[in-house]
C-alpha cells in the first residue's frame, strides 16, 4: 500500500484541506472510495477499514474537513461539506490513478458528508454507504420531537472544542467523554451560558437559536432531496443508535423518491443490535448471541461487495428482492425482508388502563378500548428530571447507551407505567412505533415522553425504544404554539422503531413521563425561551394523561404474525 500524506487541496475559495491518498500500486488506475472527517484522518482505528479497501484494489482518499486538524479554515459543522466535498470529487477525477468511479464511506458525521454531496447528484458518484447518520439535521439529530437532543453538546465539548483550542495554540487535549466537564455542560442552566461553547463553538448557539425547522436547517436535510440522489445507498445502523428513525427513513425515501432507477430499486438497509459506537452485539448486561456482531456477519465484506458491484461491475452478492436485513431481538435472529416497513405489518393499538394511579402495580396495557376510567396526574419538576438510563443515545460512557434495565426510573412518582399480562405466545413487534396520547397541563408548555420495554420473567425491564414531544411543537416543527392550561390535547409521540420478539411469559411495558435527561434538555414549563432561562424561571407542571372512552390513549405496535 502506497500513501501520500497531507496533500493540501484547494477549495473554491482558496482554503486548503489536508488530504491523504492510499493506492494499491503506482502503475494502474482504480475506483476511489472517499471519507471526509472532522475526527482526524490519521486516526489509527480507521486504518483497518482503509487497508481492507486498498487490498480489494480501491484507491482510498481521506480528508480532514474544513477547520479540523491539518486543514485550513474555520469549522462550521456541515456548512461547507457540500461545496468542499464536491470540490474534492472534482480533484480526484483529474488524478491519473482514478478510473472515474467514486464511492463514499463512513459513519455519523462522515455519513452526513456523504448525503450532503450525494443529494446534488454528482455524475461520477456510483454508490454510498452512510452509516449511523441523519436524514434531517433538525428533527433527526439536533432536535427530536421539538426537544433539544444533547448528544451534540457532549460532542462539541469532548470532540470539537479541544481541537479548536489546539489550533488557537491554547491547551486543548481531547476530553474524555466521561470527564466532569462533559456532565457539567449538559446540566448547565441556562444551557446557552457555557463559556467554552460561547467562545469556541458559536455554531452551537446558532443551533439553539434556530429552534424550528427553518431555512437554516433545510440546507442540511437529505430528506428534501432524495429525488436528486443518483447513487444507491447501503444504509447501516443499530436499534440503539440515535439515528434509528433517520436510517430507516433514508431507506424508505430513497426507495420511493430516489433520483435514478438504481437508487429506487437497489438502495438497502441493515439494522443490527448495535449502538452508535458498539457493533459487537454485546451491550451492557445483554448479549444478543454469537451472530449479532458486525464481525459475525462480515459487515466489512458486505460493504466491499457493495462497492464491487457498483464501481467494478461485479455480480450482486445480495438478493435484490430482499433489500432489508434486520436483526430481530428476543429471538436473536437475522431476517432478510422484502421491504420496510414489513409488508405484512398489522398496526395494533395497545390501550392504557388504570384507576388513576398508574404504576408498576396498577397500570394495565391491552387491546381493549377503555370505558370510564380516572385520569392519571403527576408532577413534573424539571429540576428533578427522570434520568436517562440507556437507550438510543450518544452520552458519556458506552454504558449509557443501549438496552438498560428501566426499573429504577419506573419506580418514580412522576412516571406512569402500563404493562400487559404475561404473554401466552411470542409476539413479533417490528416497525415504527407511535403513541397516541390525550394530555393536559397547568402550564403553557411541557414535554411528554414514552418508553417501550420488554419485561422478562425476572422482572428486568429492558429498554427497546423511546420518544418525546415538546408540546409547543405538537402541530408543526416549523412553528410553535403554546398550550392553553387545562385544555385536553390529542397528540402523537414518535417512539422511533424496533425489531423485537416479546417471548412467551414476557410482558410489554410502556412508561409515560415528561423528561428523559440528559438525552433531551429539560422543559422549563414556562413557555419561554428555554435555552436562556435562569433556574428561577423553571416551574413545576401538573401533567395529566387521560385514558377513557373519549380519550383512548395507546401505543400502536407494528405486529408481525407468525406464518
CA-closest candidate to residue 107, choices 266, 218, 224, 234? 234
Strand 333-337, strand 2-10: pairing: unpaired
Catalytic residue among 80, 101, 225, 276: 276
CA-closest candidate to residue 540, choices 414, 375, 439? 414
Asked if 66 contacts 84 with a C-beta cutoff of 8 angstroms, the reply is yes
Separation between Cα atoms, residue 288 and residue 175, nearest integer Å: 31
b or e along 55-88 (b: 16 or more beta carbons within 10 Å of the residue's beta carbon)? ebebbbbbbbbbbbbbbbbebebbbbbbbbbbbb
- Could you tell me the maximum CA-CA distance found in the chain, to the nearest angstrom? 79
CA distances from 494 to 296, 438, 448, 509 (A): 32, 14, 11, 16
Q: Strand pairing partners for 351?
A: 366, 554
Residues whose CB falls within 8 Å of the CB of residue 534, separated by 6 or more in sequence, listed in order: 189, 190
Asked if 134 contacts 107 with a C-beta cutoff of 8 angstroms, the reply is no
Asked if 203 contacts 76 with a C-beta cutoff of 8 angstroms, the reply is yes
Separation between Cα atoms, residue 449 and residue 469, nearest integer Å: 7
**Active-site annotation holds for 551:** no
Separation between Cα atoms, residue 346 and residue 94, nearest integer Å: 52
Number of neighbouring beta carbons within 10 Å of residue 28: 11
C-alpha cell at 417: 407505567
Separation between Cα atoms, residue 531 and residue 524, nearest integer Å: 9
Number of neighbouring beta carbons within 10 Å of residue 49: 17
C-alpha cell at 223: 430528506
**Active-site annotation holds for 241:** yes
Query: Which burial class, exposed, middle or buried, applies to 99 when counting CB atoms under 10 A from its CB (0-12, 13-18, 19+)?
Result: middle
CA-closest candidate to residue 132, choices 231, 305, 35, 277? 277
Q: 384 φ, ψ to 5°?
A: -140, 65
Catalytic residue among 159, 241, 376, 447: 241
Asked if 204 contacts 152 with a C-beta cutoff of 8 angstroms, the reply is yes
CA-closest candidate to residue 120, choices 14, 224, 267? 224
Catalytic residue among 71, 108, 511, 513: 108
Asked if 222 contacts 111 with a C-beta cutoff of 8 angstroms, the reply is no
Q: Which helix H or strand E contains 465, and what residues bound it?
A: strand 461-470
CA-closest candidate to residue 160, choices 305, 246, 304, 37? 37
Q: Helix, strand, or coil here: 326? A: strand
CA-closest candidate to residue 196, choices 231, 229, 168? 168
Active site residues: 108, 241, 276
Amino acid at each position: 500500500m502506497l500513501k501520500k500524506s497531507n496533500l493540501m487541496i484547494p477549495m473554491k475559495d482558496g482554503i486548503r484541506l489536508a488530504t491523504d491518498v492510499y493506492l494499491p500500486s503506482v502503475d494502474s488506475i482504480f475506483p476511489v472510495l472517499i471519507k471526509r472527517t472532522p475526527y482526524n484522518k490519521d486516526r489509527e482505528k480507521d486504518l483497518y477499514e482503509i487497508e481492507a479497501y486498498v487490498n480489494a484494489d480501491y484507491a482510498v482518499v481521506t480528508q480532514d474537513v474544513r477547520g479540523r486538524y491539518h486543514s485550513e479554515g474555520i469549522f462550521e459543522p456541515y456548512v461547507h461539506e457540500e461545496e468542499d466535498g464536491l470540490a474534492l470529487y472534482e480533484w480526484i477525477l483529474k488524478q491519473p490513478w482514478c478510473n472515474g468511479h467514486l464511492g463514499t464511506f463512513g459513519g455519523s458525521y462522515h455519513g452526513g458528508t456523504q448525503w450532503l454531496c450525494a443529494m446534488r447528484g454528482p455524475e461520477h458518484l456510483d454508490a454510498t454507504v452512510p452509516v449511523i447518520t441523519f436524514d434531517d439535521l433538525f428533527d433527526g439529530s439536533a432536535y427530536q420531537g421539538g426537544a433539544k437532543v444533547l448528544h451534540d453538546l457532549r460532542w462539541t465539548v469532548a470532540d470539537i472544542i479541544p481541537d479548536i483550542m489546539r489550533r488557537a495554540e491554547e491547551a486543548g487535549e481531547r476530553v474524555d467523554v466521561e470527564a466532569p466537564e462533559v456532565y457539567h455542560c449538559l446540566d448547565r442552566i441556562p444551557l446557552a451560558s457555557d463559556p467554552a461553547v460561547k467562545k469556541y463553538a458559536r455554531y452551537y448557539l446558532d443551533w439553539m437559536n434556530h429552534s424550528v425547522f427553518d431555512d437554516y436547517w433545510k440546507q442540511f436535510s437529505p430528506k428534501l432531496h432524495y429525488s436528486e440522489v443518483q447513487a444507491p445507498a447501503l444504509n447501516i445502523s443499530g436499534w440503539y443508535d440515535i439515528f434509528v428513525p433517520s436510517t430507516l427513513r433514508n431507506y424508505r425515501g430513497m426507495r420511493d423518491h430516489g433520483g435514478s432507477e438504481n437508487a429506487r430499486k437497489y438502495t438497502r438497509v441493515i439494522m443490527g443490535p448495535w449502538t452508535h459506537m458498539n457493533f459487537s452485539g454485546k451491550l451492557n448486561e445483554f448479549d444478543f448471541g454469537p451472530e449479532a456482531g458486525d464481525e459475525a456477519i462480515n459487515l466489512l465484506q458486505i460493504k466491499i461487495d457493495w462497492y464491487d458491484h457498483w464501481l467494478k461491475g461485479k455480480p450482486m452478492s445480495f438478493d435484490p428482492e430482499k433489500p432489508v436485513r434486520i436483526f430481530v431481538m428476543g429471538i436473536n435472529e437475522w431476517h432478510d425482508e422484502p421491504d420496510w416497513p414489513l409488508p405484512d405489518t398489522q398496526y395494533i393499538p395497545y390501550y392504557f388502563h388504570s384507576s388513576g394511579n398508574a404504576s408498576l402495580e396498577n397500570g394495565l396495557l391491552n387491546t381493549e378500548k377503555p370505558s370510564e376510567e380516572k385520569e392519571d396526574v403527576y408532577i413534573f419538576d424539571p429540576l428533578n428530571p427522570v434520568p436517562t438510563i440507556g437507550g438510543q443515545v450518544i452520552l458519556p460512557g458506552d454504558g449509557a447507551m443501549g438496552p438498560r434495565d428501566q426499573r429504577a426510573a419506573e419506580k418514580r412518582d412522576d412516571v406512569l407505567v402500563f404493562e400487559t399480562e404475561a404473554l401466552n405466545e411470542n409476539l413479533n413487534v417490528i416497525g415504527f412505533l407511535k403513541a397516541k396520547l390525550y394530555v393536559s397541563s397547568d402550564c403553557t408548555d411541557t414535554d411528554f415522553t414514552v418508553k417501550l420495554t420488554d419485561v422478562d420473567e425476572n422482572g428486568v425491564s429492558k429498554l427497546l425504544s423511546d420518544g418525546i414531544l415538546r408540546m409547543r411543537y405538537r402541530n408543526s416543527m416549523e412553528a410553535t404554539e403554546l398550550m392553553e392550561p387545562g385544555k385536553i390535547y390529542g397528540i402523537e409521540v414518535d417512539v422511533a422503531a424496533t425489531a423485537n420478539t416479546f417471548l412467551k411469559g414476557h410482558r410489554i411495558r410502556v412508561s409515560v413521563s415528561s423528561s428523559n435527561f440528559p438525552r433531551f434538555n429539560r422543559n422549563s414549563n414556562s413557555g419561554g425561551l428555554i435555552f436562556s432561562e435562569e433556574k428561577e424561571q423553571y416551574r413545576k407542571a401538573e401533567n395529566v394523561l387521560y385514558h377513557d372512552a373519549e380519550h383512548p390513549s395507546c401505543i400502536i405496535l407494528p405486529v408481525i404474525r407468525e406464518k
